[in-house]
Amino acid sequence: MFYEGQHRKCAAVVREFPDCFAEEARQMIVQFVKFKSDLSDDEVRRTMEERAPQYRALPGLLQKYYVRESGTGEYAGVYFWDSEESMRDFQQSELARSIPSAYKAAGQARVEVFETVLTLRPEEPASA
Q: For the chain, what are the domain ranges?
A: 6-15+26-115
Count the Cβ atoms, other than its own, within 10 Å of residue 12.
9
Phi/psi of residue 111, nearest 5 degrees: -125, 130
* Mean per-residue pLDDT, 10-35: 61
Q: How far apart are CA 75 and CA 33, in angstroms?
A: 8
Q: What count of Cα atoms within 13 Å lies in the side-chain half-sphere of residue 106?
A: 10
Q: How far apart are CA 82 and CA 92, in angstroms?
A: 17
Predicted local distance difference test score (pLDDT) of residue 64? 97
The type of residue at 98 is S
Q: How far apart are CA 87 and CA 78, in angstroms?
A: 12
Strands of the chain (E only): list them: 6-8, 29-37, 61-68, 75-81, 105-115
Among residues 13, 33, 29, 36, which one has the least CA distance to residue 61?
Answer: 29
Per CATH, which fold does 6-15+26-115 belong to? Alpha-Beta Plaits (3.30.70)
Examine the pLDDT at 128 and tell me if it is beyond 60: no
Count the Cβ atoms, other than its own, within 10 Å of residue 105.
18
For residue 94, what pLDDT band results from cuts at 50, 70 and 90?
very high
Examine the pLDDT at 48 and tell me if it is beyond 60: yes
Examine the pLDDT at 20 and tell me if it is beyond 70: no
* Mean per-residue pLDDT, 62-86: 96
Count the Cβ atoms, other than its own, within 10 Å of residue 68.
14
Examine the pLDDT at 3 and tell me if it is beyond 60: no
